[in-house]
Chain A
Amino acid sequence: EPEVTQTPSHQVTQMGQEVILRCVPISNHLYFYWYRQILGQKVEFLVSFYNNEISEKSEIFDDQFSVERPDGSNFTLKIRSTKLEDSAMYFCASTLERPQHFGDGTRLSIL
């Protein structure tokens, strides 16, 4: 069964540095998402993406965040200048219609 794949599985970054989290959605899917889960808390929506533009974003998704689909297969989340509170598990999801299929996540640790 096709899967959403995320790399790396764990990313350690110094505060203030830029980080790019990568996702390869399921190949025929058209809608893409990023969610995050701070340790011990619930999964929170960040952004949805369709037809090469953002469909919806949450209040968490401020100017430090950006998303891109640079080619036909990858979907990336960039955090321009990381903060300690960005430490979390970041999940990518994709769908053709419903439901959303999730990757295994990237654990981002900010030092």
Chain B
Amino acid sequence: AQSVTQPDIHITVSEGASLELRCNYSYGATPYLFWYVQSPGQGLQLLLKYFSGDTLVQGIKGFEAEFKRSQSSFNLRKPSVHWSDAAEYFCAVGSLGGTASKLTFGTGTRLQVTL
């Protein structure tokens, strides 16, 4: 069964500092990987996705993520965090088994940004 681990429940960074949020997945084949962001009271907004090809993917709002098969990781990064980035971030994995396949989410990492 597919699973996702986000080891950091809560991270605090200063505005302007760099950010890396960790995500490890478990899946038997090449997965589809996603990062979503959830602001308070809001839905899930897609930041970026990895299906195949280049292992470094660019997303919206200046975020990027790197797929490392050897480490089963898909960490999210941003070189300079803005106060508006404070939110909850979810890593998710989807299977190759058909377009209708479900997403399995991690428990999320809450990002706090200090000014």
* Interfacial residues, chain A to chain B (CB-CB below 8 A): 4, 6, 30-31, 33, 35, 41-45, 48-50, 55-56, 58, 91, 93, 95, 97-105
Contacts and interface: CB of A to CB of B under 8 A. Distances in A.
B32 interface: yes
Task: Name the interface size band of chain B.
Answer: 20 to 34
Nearest to B34: A99
Interface SS, A side: strand
Interface string B67-105: 000000000000000000000001010100011111111
Interface string B21-60: 0000000000010101000001111100101000000000
A31 B102 CA distance: 10
A104 B42 contact: yes
Most buried by A among B94, B100, B108: B100
Interface of B: 32, 34, 36, 42-46, 49, 51, 90, 92, 94, 98-108
Contacts of A42: 90, 105-108
B43 A99 contact: no
Contacts of A35: 103
Contacts of B105: 42-44
